[in-house]
Amino acid sequence: MQTIKFRLAEIKDVLDLHLLINRAYRFEVSRSWTNENQVVAGDRISLIDLEKIIQNQQVSRDKSQFLVVELNDQLEKGIIGCITLNYDNHDVEIGTFCISPDLQNYGYGKQVLNAAELYATKFHPNLKTFSMWVLSTRQELIAFYERRGYIRTDQTAEYPIQDNVGQPMVDLHLIQLVKSIGSC
């Protein structure tokens, strides 16, 4: 497995990121841990929404970062994953985290999550917790995060239909997971 590097997403990345995110979350790919196509229909993100996220990050980088994941090898070009970090006081919420389905199950997800946690704590040294929201039906994904030190809270939320992230095909809600920075 090669090492990864982060950089901030740029407008030039929109088409590649749109394909990557929707392929990882919504296309049927046998190796994908992030696939939701059995429970949610429609795109995970639109081109317009993706452009807005990247443009907003350019204005308020201290509040939100959309990080692109690439391999450190000069011969390998292209985006292999992404992750967003949204800062709020002493908390950073992790979202839009995916690895190309072709590269899943090789340890890149663990490597990206660990590197993103380290990146966030260096960027905002006063952070106390990481948090994330996961679909209630994704028990294998929740178990993955629990193995990484995240703990389920009692907090739940309705599926965010208003955010244009697809239409649930089953009864869904979101479950919050948190991790204390001291447990990293």
Distance CA 162, CA 22 (A): 18
Does the residue 180 lie in any domain? no
Does the residue 26 lie in any domain? yes
Instruction: Please report which confidence band the pLDDT of residue 90 belongs to, taking 50, 70 and 90 as the band edges.
Output: very high
pLDDT at residue 27, rounded to an integer: 80
This prediction has a pTM of: 0.90
Residue 121 sits in a domain whose CATH number is 3.40.630.30
DSSP designation for 163: G
Does the residue 165 lie in any domain? no
Residue with tokens 């209630």: 136
Does the residue 72 lie in any domain? yes
**Total tally of structural domains belonging to the chain:** 1
pLDDT at residue 58, rounded to an integer: 74
2-57 tens-digit pLDDT? 788 999 999 999 999 999 999 998 886 666 666 787 889 899 999 999 999 999 88
Does the residue 136 lie in any domain? no
Contacts of 55 (CB under 8 A, 6+ apart): 11
Does the residue 104 lie in any domain? yes
Which domain, by its residues, includes 87? 4-130
